[in-house]
Amino acid sequence: MSSLLIPKVIGHRGAKAYAPENTLSSIHAAADLGIEWVELDVKLTRDGVAVIFHDDELLRCTGADGLMKDLDWKDIQELDAGSWYGDSFIGEKIPTLEDALNVILDRGLGLNLEIKPCPGREKETAEVALDVASRIWPEDGPPPLISSFQHVSLETAMDMIPEWPRGFLIDEHLPDWRQLAEYLEAATINFNGNTATREEVEEYMELQKPLLAYTINDPEFARELMRWGVDGVFADNPDVIREAIETRH
């Protein structure tokens, strides 16, 4: 895991302040801004295709009723994942993980891939996503960071590709967070920067792993977290946050 070089700002779901989240347009938007890494969510269709999408429900980002787990890939391909965001993105599709990885590699980006399984598919989602990613990602490059709120998904990642770093995701401060992070051999602690206290951040720092805070869109607060000792942040507006951090002194 020595090759894990994480930038101070990671584009959240691409660069979702500028393009529909978790789409190829959003990845390109981040790259066009000069952002070095993006974070994307992966889940499975009913027939087991790994796609880039965040919600269990399709409605918010496609306008369609139903759940991702209940539709096959052929049906998902027909959905419009861009018109909800703006007219210029009408016709934007939900990408497969394979398509997203090819764009990421073509644009020279690093990746935090969050395994976001539908309930009950924690192991399967990790297996399919990591199988796809391991076939596409070059062996000689820095590996992607694999994160998840689901410990079963991270266990699966640890078993399948132990050399790829794992990010331990924390929404609310857990009493046993340290034991879990150590058991999963976490390379990073990815925590909710908007709810964590300074005391909790200092506790996370004791593990001596990079601390990544999500989702931080306020420039002054990003600077404050850096003063606390946070190593990096996820941002919808990564260019704005990067500029704020670089000019904080």
Q: Say if residues 184 and 154 touch (Cβ distance below 8 Å).
A: yes
* One-letter amino acid for residue 236 of the chain: D
**Residue 173 annotated to the active site:** no
DSSP string for 85-115 = T-GGGTT--PPBHHHHHHHHHHTT-EEEEEE
Task: Quickly list H helices, the chain.
Answer: 24-32, 59-62, 73-76, 97-106, 122-136, 151-160, 177-183, 198-205, 219-228, 238-246
Tokens linked to 210? 């990079």
Task: Name the active-site residue from 12, 28, 151, 173.
Answer: 12
Give CA–CA dist 51/69, Å, rounded: 11
**Residue 12 annotated to the active site:** yes
Q: Say if residues 122 and 128 touch (Cβ distance below 8 Å).
A: no
Q: Say if residues 186 and 167 touch (Cβ distance below 8 Å).
A: yes
**Alpha-carbon distance values, 12 to 35, 44, 161, 225 (Å):** 11, 20, 24, 17
Task: Name the active-site residue from 28, 54, 151, 249.
Answer: 54
Give CA–CA dist 186/190, Å, rounded: 10
Catalytically annotated residues: 12, 54
